[in-house]
A and B are shown apart, each in its own frame.
Chain A
């Protein structure tokens, strides 16, 4: 794509883009760290992850400001308009992912105080899947790659499946031994958070598709082309 006549506009758009990437990278780190804090029973890491959410919130505010400024100054149209408005929506989703990670870290902190219920196997797998979805959605955003965005949307089903699996497993624990209920509920919450993270990643991917194609694919059932 050729440059704008006003090169400052290109600079502004690039800044929004790199800030969003930075935010995405930090969100991914939070997903991994919160999971690590849980699996390795590392309360210190859980604490620092909870703190880290401020970074994400700060970036959201900064990106929104940059977008508003660009809207006011440049009155963008077409792809620029779609890029900026979608950037404003994407950063909201990323911020929500940050909140979920914060909640996961809080639950991890609590679980670390209790004896382990069972080794965590499905949860880290779920977290890896969700983190990869976030990563790919942002890559699709930066590269204007709608095909990659479509794959992200499709992967949401895998995460949902894992979530259901974990819930069933936890239910058996609780029925067998009511003493596990406290821990099972917390673990269940973590699984639900991860599922929500994947949903947010899907939202981001849908926005990328709109940004690239100018076509709204939300609430339609995803279908490439």
Chain B
């Protein structure tokens, strides 16, 4: 399997504290990889390094390489903005732009960048909303505020906004942690569909969710990669005792 994304000896420091230690990981194309681990293990930190979100934190220092199609996104010549156009991100709490309508939220990736042809907009909005199975629910109120949607709908809207700009990789940072079980299942089903087109990396606290949605699972503990394997293997017969202890609820 060819890897779409690759972490090579990734180290992340915040000031003097090291949050991520020497993590190397391969994310094969068109798969879902879950990153699990107890709070503070560095899983979100790893995820956010993949689209250079740490650039905004002055104290953060990322060393090592993050290879997207074998090109290091931390290379000096690479523009972080260009990286983020190829690697989209969905956040823990649904964060639609409050001042925008549903329609504008979906198209926001284009509008905010000021590069959009009027004729294409309708089509992008419709296909993106259909992609996340939200079209039928909102097609009659596209021009109303996105804030009137339910939490689960807002999160799907955020995913629609992300897929609208046609990224290659989608990062998800605990996308269901604020949602009820039904909304969670809808998102999970969606993740399964998304992998046909995208490479998905999801951070989750919910181990059952990782077991349900992912093809591969990485277990991080105290900033180190403890184990990475096929998800089924991790959850039925992990190789490392730390992984076993964590997923069976013996520490956490």
Which residues from chain A sit less than 8 Å from chain B, CB to CB?
1-6, 9, 74-82, 213-215
Asked whether, in the complex, the Cβ of B244 is within 8 Å of the Cβ of A78, the reply is yes
Cα A214 to Cα B236 in complex, Å, equals 7
- Output the nearest chain A residue to B208 by Cβ-Cβ distance: A75
Report 15 cross-chain contacts, Cβ distance below 8 Å, ordered by A residue. Answer: A2-B245, A2-B250, A5-B250, A6-B249, A76-B248, A77-B207, A77-B211, A77-B236, A78-B237, A78-B244, A78-B248, A79-B244, A80-B248, A214-B236, A215-B237
Cα A76 to Cα B248 in complex, Å, equals 6
- Output the nearest chain A residue to B207 by Cβ-Cβ distance: A77
Asked whether, in the complex, the Cβ of B208 is within 8 Å of the Cβ of A4, the reply is no
Asked whether, in the complex, the Cβ of A81 is within 8 Å of the Cβ of B235, the reply is yes
Interface of A is mostly: loop
- Output the nearest chain A residue to B210 by Cβ-Cβ distance: A77
> Which residues of chain B are within 8 angstroms of A81 by Cβ–Cβ distance?
235-236
> Which residues of chain B are within 8 angstroms of A9 by Cβ–Cβ distance?
249
B89-111 contact mask (Cβ, 8 Å, vs A): 1 or 0: 00000000000000000000000
The residue from A1, A74, A82, A215 contacting B249, defined by CB atoms under 8 A apart: A74
> Which residues of chain B are within 8 angstroms of A5 by Cβ–Cβ distance?
249-252
> Which residues of chain A are within 8 angstroms of B252 by Cβ–Cβ distance?
5
Cα A82 to Cα B252 in complex, Å, equals 21
- Whether B146 sits at the interface, judged by CB under 8 Å, is no
> Which residues of chain B are within 8 angstroms of A76 by Cβ–Cβ distance?
248
Cα A1 to Cα B244 in complex, Å, equals 10
Asked whether, in the complex, the Cβ of A4 is within 8 Å of the Cβ of B235, the reply is no
Supposing A77-B207, A78-B244 touch, asked if A4 and B250 sit within 8 A by C-beta, the answer is yes
Instruction: State how many angstroms separate the Cβ of A90 from the closest Cβ of chain B.
Output: 17
- Whether B80 sits at the interface, judged by CB under 8 Å, is no
> Which residues of chain B are within 8 angstroms of A77 by Cβ–Cβ distance?
207, 211, 235-236, 247-248
> Which residues of chain B are within 8 angstroms of A6 by Cβ–Cβ distance?
249
Asked whether, in the complex, the Cβ of B248 is within 8 Å of the Cβ of A4, the reply is yes
Which residues from chain B sit less than 8 Å from chain A, CB to CB?
207-208, 211, 235-238, 243-245, 247-252
> Which residues of chain B are within 8 angstroms of A4 by Cβ–Cβ distance?
248-250
Instruction: State how many angstroms separate the Cβ of A38 from the closest Cβ of chain B.
Output: 43
> Which residues of chain B are within 8 angstroms of A80 by Cβ–Cβ distance?
248-249
Instruction: State how many angstroms separate the Cβ of A136 from the closest Cβ of chain B.
Output: 24
- Output the nearest chain A residue to B237 by Cβ-Cβ distance: A214
Cα A78 to Cα B242 in complex, Å, equals 12
Asked whether, in the complex, the Cβ of B247 is within 8 Å of the Cβ of A78, the reply is yes
Supposing A2-B245, A77-B207, A77-B211 touch, asked if A82 and B250 sit within 8 A by C-beta, the answer is no
Cα A2 to Cα B248 in complex, Å, equals 11
- Output the nearest chain B residue to A4 by Cβ-Cβ distance: B249
- Output the nearest chain A residue to B235 by Cβ-Cβ distance: A77
> Which residues of chain A are within 8 angstroms of B237 by Cβ–Cβ distance?
78, 82, 213-215
Cα A1 to Cα B251 in complex, Å, equals 12
Instruction: State how many angstroms separate the Cβ of B37 from the closest Cβ of chain A.
Output: 14
Asked whether, in the complex, the Cβ of B208 is within 8 Å of the Cβ of A78, the reply is no
> Which residues of chain B are within 8 angstroms of A82 by Cβ–Cβ distance?
236-237
Instruction: State how many angstroms separate the Cβ of A14 from the closest Cβ of chain B.
Output: 15
Considering residues A4, A74, A82, which has the most beta carbons from chain B within 10 angstroms of its beta carbon?
Answer: A4
Cα A127 to Cα B52 in complex, Å, equals 69
> Which residues of chain A are within 8 angstroms of B208 by Cβ–Cβ distance?
75
* Beyond known contacts A9-B249, A78-B248, A81-B236: 5 more, CB 8 A cutoff: A2-B251, A5-B249, A5-B250, A78-B244, A215-B237
Cα A74 to Cα B250 in complex, Å, equals 12
> Which residues of chain A are within 8 angstroms of B248 by Cβ–Cβ distance?
4, 76-80
- Output the nearest chain A residue to B250 by Cβ-Cβ distance: A2
Asked whether, in the complex, the Cβ of B251 is within 8 Å of the Cβ of A78, the reply is no
Cα A79 to Cα B234 in complex, Å, equals 11
Considering residues B247, B251, B252, which has the most beta carbons from chain A within 10 angstroms of its beta carbon?
Answer: B247
> Which residues of chain A are within 8 angstroms of B235 by Cβ–Cβ distance?
77-78, 81
Cα A144 to Cα B205 in complex, Å, equals 30
- Output the nearest chain A residue to B233 by Cβ-Cβ distance: A214
Cα A5 to Cα B247 in complex, Å, equals 11
Asked whether, in the complex, the Cβ of B236 is within 8 Å of the Cβ of A3, the reply is no
Cα A81 to Cα B208 in complex, Å, equals 12
- Output the nearest chain B residue to A215 by Cβ-Cβ distance: B237
Across chains A and B, which 8 residue pairs bring their CB atoms closest together, nearest first?
A: A214-B237, A77-B247, A80-B248, A77-B235, A78-B244, A2-B250, A4-B249, A78-B248
Cα A48 to Cα B16 in complex, Å, equals 76
